[in-house]
């Protein structure tokens, strides 16, 4: 796999997009374009996590809903296209008026830093973990492990 964080500037492209749908906690649509946020891995829609009190909750739905709050339908975003994944989604880094969307989600504990691709968001994840925010308040299976278990 590519080390996406090290792509030369010539390999990136700036996109101005308008959000038409929020697919889940790390994916959006802008018209026909399917966008996957770079460096982030949010719980899957079917995934359950445990709260600090030990109760199961739909953390994938919570992450998606938080993404919807951060980037409601019709929101204009500035994105940098970094790559295209195997599902033909554009892998992007996007900003809203409050900054980097992926960093916001991770810092709130709605997703984890996807270290396989980048360490860019590790500080935001450490902040959420240390402050027991979102999924870090209880326990959870890392999203990529959840996906792997679902395939078996």
Q: What is the pLDDT along the chain (152 residues), one digit of tens a residue?
A: 334 444 444 457 999 999 999 999 999 999 999 999 999 999 999 999 999 999 999 999 999 999 999 999 999 999 999 999 999 999 999 999 899 999 999 999 999 999 999 999 999 999 999 999 999 999 999 999 999 999 98
Q: Minimal CA–CA distance to 37: which of 110, 97, 129, 128?
A: 110
d(CA 48, CA 57): 5
CATH of 4-151, picked from 3.40.50.2000, 3.30.460.10, 2.40.50.90, 3.40.30.10, is: 2.40.50.90
Domain boundaries, the chain: 4-151
d(CA 68, CA 142): 21
Say whether pTM exceeds 0.85. yes
């Amino acid at each position: 796999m590519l080390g996406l964080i090290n792509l030369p500037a010539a390999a990136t492209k700036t996109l101005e997009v308008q959000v038409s749908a929020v697919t889940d906690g790390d994916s959006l649509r802008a018209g026909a374009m399917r966008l996957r946020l770079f460096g982030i891995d949010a719980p899957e829609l079917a995934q359950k996590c445990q709260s600090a009190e030990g109760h199961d909750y739909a953390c994938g739905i919570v992450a998606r809903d938080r993404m919807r709050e951060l980037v409601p339908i019709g929101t204009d975003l500035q994105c940098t296209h970094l790559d295209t994944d195997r599902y033909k989604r554009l892998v992007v880094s996007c900003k809203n008026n409050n900054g980097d969307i992926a960093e916001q989600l991770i810092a709130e504990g709605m997703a984890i830093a996807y270290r396989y691709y980048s360490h860019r968001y590790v500080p935001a994840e450490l902040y959420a973990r240390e402050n027991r925010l979102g999924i870090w308040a209880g326990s959870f299976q890392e999203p990529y492990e959840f996906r792997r278990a679902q395939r078996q």
